[in-house]
Amino acid sequence: MRVINNIFLPKKNNDKRYFAVNISEKCNPPSFTALKKSAFSGLDYAVIEKYKAPIEKFRFPADLQCWAHKMLENIAHKDFKGRTSEVTSKRRAVLQEWYNHLENHKSAYSNALKLIVFSALIKELKWSNDKLPPGLDKEVLTNTVSELNTAVNTNPKAQFDFNKMYETNLCSKMITEDLGNMEAVSEWIVIPSKSKDSKNFLYNVEKLKILSYKTWCTKSSYAEPYLKNGDFHIYMEKGKPKLGMRLVGSKVVEIQGVLNNGKIPVEYLDILNSYIEKNNLKLNWITKEDIEIAQQAKAEMQHT
């Protein structure tokens, strides 16, 4: 007689013969009939498509949640090291906040959804960069999940980038707080330094990271030290960052366009000069020289 898990059950009430019963694990019991993708829908289907879940090993559709939970635990407690110990520490703190929120609201977030969210957060966290996951905004998260649900229910095979969706919605919220309709307005946003707004410093650091163009170092770990030293001004054109201006104390020490190459984009030179003059901003010798170079470049363009 074959013994499986040391469990034996009688075949019939009065039958002394016994047969072995395999008591499987709670998750992923043996599959006698392989499941098909048609058994799943919405976010569950999206997880199968995106992460190649082994549905042939599942007996019931609910087994997907067990699998997603295991996958989540495999990545949630890893230490995503960066180039410095400070970056590693910040990553750890932000990810822990996200994990705690998702785990404490299990009724709102299935394991499949948590896997989608967390996988997106860690996607670009490499040891060779200083990138940080976006901060948790519960309202924006709720809205983004709703948006994703609508997308995958409308088109089960919809391609999506949850991180991009979340950051776009977070950016929209932050711009709207300052300017109103982000798509209709082109204006400067000032993010105050720690000395000017210590109460909201952490929020302002996150705001600078989110509103910064992808090539700027303020998109990652430099946002915090820069705001400790001075304000940061960003020119937004219909919801898109075009110029970044960093201050140390009361002086402008750096001006960057989207190329982040130290050259002021000629097409935004008049907007920049007007803003500096209107707000009586002081320049250091580097930014004075940068503006002069841009003015020369503009004059040469006009004569060609």
Q: What is the pLDDT of residue 239?
A: 85
Q: What is the pLDDT of residue 5?
A: 41
Q: What is the pLDDT of residue 184?
A: 59
For residue 32, pLDDT beyond 80: no
pLDDT band of residue 12 (cuts 50, 70, 90) is very low
Q: What is the pLDDT of residue 15?
A: 47
Q: Which alpha helices (DSSP H) does 11-82 contain, by range?
A: 42-51, 63-76
For residue 17, pLDDT beyond 50: no
Q: What is the pLDDT of residue 177?
A: 80
Residue 240: DSSP 8-state: E
pTM value is 0.76
Mean pLDDT calculated for residue range 8-26: 42
Task: Kindly report, residue by residue over 191-235, the tens digit of the pLDDT.
Answer: 999 999 999 998 999 999 999 999 999 998 899 999 999 999 999
Cross-strand partners of 236: 187, 241
Helix/strand/coil for 148: helix
Write down the number of H helices and E strands in the chain. Answer: 10, 7
Task: Kindly report, residue by residue over 82-120, the tens digit of the pLDDT.
Answer: 999 999 999 999 999 999 999 999 899 999 999 999 999
Q: Which residue has the higher pLDDT, 26 or 206?
A: 206
pLDDT band of residue 304 (cuts 50, 70, 90) is confident
d(CA 271, CA 242): 11
Percent of all residues in the chain with a pLDDT value above 90, rounded to a whole number: 76
pLDDT band of residue 1 (cuts 50, 70, 90) is very low
pLDDT band of residue 18 (cuts 50, 70, 90) is very low
For residue 242, pLDDT beyond 80: yes
For residue 261, pLDDT beyond 70: yes
Other Cβ atoms closer than 10 A to 6: 7
Mean pLDDT calculated for residue range 26-51: 79
For residue 27, pLDDT beyond 80: no
Helix/strand/coil for 51: helix
Other Cβ atoms closer than 10 A to 85: 9
Mean pLDDT, rounded, of the chain? 88
Phi-psi category of 5—alpha, beta or left, where left has phi over 0 and alpha has psi -120 to 50?
left
Task: Kindly report, residue by residue over 286-296, the tens digit of the pLDDT.
Answer: 999 999 999 99
Q: What is the pLDDT of residue 212?
A: 95
